[in-house]
Chain A
Amino acid sequence: GIQVEQSPPDLILQEGANSTLRCNFSDSVNNLQWFHQNPWGQLINLFYIPSGTKQNGRLSATTVATERYSLLYISSSQTTDSGVYFCAVQRVGAGANNLFFGTGTRLTVIP
């Protein structure tokens, strides 16, 4: 299957700081999504972004498909941003509907 690597594995920020999370993948993809898992375990979709750039409030994401990476930017971080951020991808031409997840970046925002 496709390899999905996320970095850094852990990140601690002071409230108000900015951060960049990275997702590298080993093959061409036609589907890439970012998720946030809050401290209570709920998984929420942040972006569907197989290519290009999107913004939603303090969060934005960019995927450079030709170079096989995606970035998630968090600006002016808040304590509610704490949790684990996952990148998930589907390889072009793969068996239908297999979405592969990275191992995540655990973000802790300190007040």
Chain B
Amino acid sequence: NAGVTQTPKFQVLKTGQSMTLQCAQDMNHEYMSWYRQDPGMGLRLIHYSVGAGITDQGEVPNGYNVSRSTTEDFPLRLLSAAPSQTSVYFCASSRGGVASGANVLTFGAGSRLTVL
């Protein structure tokens, strides 16, 4: 199994450009989420989804949109990129959602985004 696959691994954008970070999992996980990792700040939750058609905001949602049309895919969209969105982005999934107390997060390899 591939697990959680993120594309692209690296991306450079100019301020104001839009792009989509792709995330796909093949484990039939209901829960998927996006985190960003900045130096010295750990990982912060951007958006999450508990199943197809259901999404919600995390800790730092501003400037990002998500959708979940299938169980497998959870893309993250930047509509108008800003330098403050320069970061490493991680997609993660788990079987039934962390709220159920027994679900371990599996992470993708990360996508490094630079906004000039």
Q: A residues touching B (Cβ–Cβ < 8 Å)?
A: 1, 4, 30-31, 33, 35, 41-45, 48, 50, 86, 88, 90, 95-104
- Contact (Cβ within 8 A) A43 B99: no
Encoded as 1 (CB less than 8 Å from any A CB) or 0, chain B from 73 to 88 comes to: 0000000000000001
- Chain B minimum-CB-distance residue to A4: B42
Most buried by A among B41, B44, B45, B106: B45
- Bound state CA distance, A73 and B31, in angstroms? 30
Interchain pairs with CB closer than 8 A, number: 69
- Chain B minimum-CB-distance residue to A94: B99
- Bound state CA distance, A43 and B13, in angstroms? 25
- Contact (Cβ within 8 A) B41 A103: yes
- Contact (Cβ within 8 A) B101 A31: yes
Given A30-B101, A31-B98, A50-B101, the answer on whether A99 and B109 have CB atoms closer than 8 Å is: no
- Chain A minimum-CB-distance residue to B90: A43
Least CB distance from B4 to A in Å reads 10
Neighbour of A97 across the interface among B44, B90, B99, B102, CB < 8 A: B99
> A97 to chain B: which residues have CB within 8 Å?
31, 33, 48, 50, 56, 97-99
- Contact (Cβ within 8 A) B107 A43: yes
- Contact (Cβ within 8 A) B109 A42: yes
List the 4 shortest-distance A-B pairs measured between CB atoms, nearest first: A101-B42, A43-B107, A101-B43, A103-B42
> B102 to chain A: which residues have CB within 8 Å?
48
- Contact (Cβ within 8 A) B98 A90: yes
> A31 to chain B: which residues have CB within 8 Å?
98-99, 101, 103
> A43 to chain B: which residues have CB within 8 Å?
90, 92, 107, 110
Q: List 30 A-B contacts (CB under 8 A).
A: A31-B98, A31-B99, A33-B104, A35-B105, A42-B107, A43-B110, A44-B107, A45-B105, A45-B107, A48-B102, A48-B104, A50-B101, A86-B42, A88-B43, A90-B98, A90-B99, A95-B56, A96-B50, A96-B97, A97-B31, A97-B99, A98-B45, A98-B58, A98-B59, A98-B98, A100-B45, A100-B59, A101-B35, A101-B43, A101-B44
